Amino acid sequence: MAHNPQPIALLTGAAGQLGRVLAQRLSACGWQLRMTDIRPFPDALPRGARFFEMSLEDKDAVIDAAAGCDLILHYGGISTEQSFEEILGPNYRGTFHIYEAARRHRARVVFPSSVHVVGLYDRSETLDQDCVLRPDGYYGLSKAYGEMLARVYWEKHAVESVVVRIGSTLPEPTDRRFLSTWLSHDDFIALMQCCAQAEHVGFTVIWGASDNSRSFWRDDGRVRIGWRPKDSSDGFIDQVEGIVTQDVIAESLQGGRFVTVDYTRDGLPPKDLF
């Protein structure tokens, strides 16, 4: 399924941190955006964009919003560690509705997964795309579910997905951990453009990080979609090397602070669990 450089795209979670970056930058690239969120869009509406205030838990509204779209950028839902009940509706039911909409309208999906699907791995380990998932909480668990849902919809319904395990998408790294997980805004936008332009993606997993020498990750599907990050956290090493938390668990594991929420084990999780 060929896609256009300037697609008609549904962007969920448009009022969130990453959604606002995407709205501004992709509109400037000529994309036609149909944007949704459960809360009002806080910025001036980009040229040519339309915004709908709606819940991802409203299946009919999600399916209607996706009509005529080539691509769905699914950035909606809870993006922090919360209780299972709070995450259940937006992240589980909402993502299911997104994939039902994609199946109905034959749209490609970009599913932003997260470092938190592998957050319980030690920082000394280097992971490939097919590593066993080790979510570090209910948020990470919902992203692991989304990855599996994307695979089901590819294998059963031929709905294409690019799963992007996003590290830390920030203007620049601000602590030691981000030297391993940082994804610059420029590399992030280039990645979204590659997701739209690639001729065929099937089910592709990408580690969402810039070209960082301290990366926790290697080997993914970036060659398939033609993405090559240009930025690196290496130029920030002297600036942020000494900025750390005082928590041994957070500093030992790839998920960082998220791991410590409701963490009741004594000491670190076993490395040889799998």
In a domain, 12, yes or no: yes
Q: pLDDT per residue over 46-95, tens digit each? A: 998 999 999 999 999 999 999 999 999 999 999 999 999 999 999 999 99
pLDDT computed for residue 7 by the predictor: 86
Rounded to the nearest integer, the mean pLDDT of the chain is 96
pLDDT category of residue 1 using cuts at 50, 70 and 90: very low
In a domain, 218, yes or no: yes
In a domain, 273, yes or no: no
In a domain, 248, yes or no: yes
Q: pLDDT per residue over 119-158, tens digit each? A: 999 999 999 999 999 999 999 999 999 999 999 999 999 9
Q: What is the CATH number of the domain that holds 31?
A: 3.40.50.720
Q: Which two tokens mark 242?
A: 């000494």
pLDDT computed for residue 199 by the predictor: 94
Global pTM reads: 0.95
- Degrees to nearest 5, angle at CA 20 with 260 and 189: 90
pLDDT category of residue 4 using cuts at 50, 70 and 90: low
Q: pLDDT per residue over 22-33, tens digit each? A: 999 999 999 999
In a domain, 242, yes or no: yes
pLDDT computed for residue 274 by the predictor: 61
Q: Measured between alpha carbons, how far is residue 171 from residues 52, 217, 232, 248 in Å?
A: 28, 21, 12, 27
What residue numbers bound the domain in which 147 lies? Answer: 8-260
In a domain, 2, yes or no: no
pLDDT computed for residue 63 by the predictor: 98
Q: Would you name the residues annotated as active-site residues?
A: 139
In a domain, 115, yes or no: yes
Identify the CA nearest to 101 among candidates 37, 17, 30, 12. Answer: 12
Three-state secondary structure readout of 109-136? EEEEEEHHHCCCCECCCCECCCCCCCCC
Number of domains the chain is built from? 1
Q: pLDDT per residue over 238-269, tens digit each? A: 999 999 999 999 999 999 999 999 999 999 99
Q: Which two tokens mark 104?
A: 């109905």
In a domain, 3, yes or no: no
Q: pLDDT per residue over 152-211, tens digit each? A: 999 999 999 999 999 999 999 999 999 999 999 999 999 999 999 999 999 999 999 999
pLDDT computed for residue 2 by the predictor: 43
Flag whether pLDDT at 271 surpasses 90.
no
In the chain, helix, strand, coil percent, each to 5? 40, 15, 45
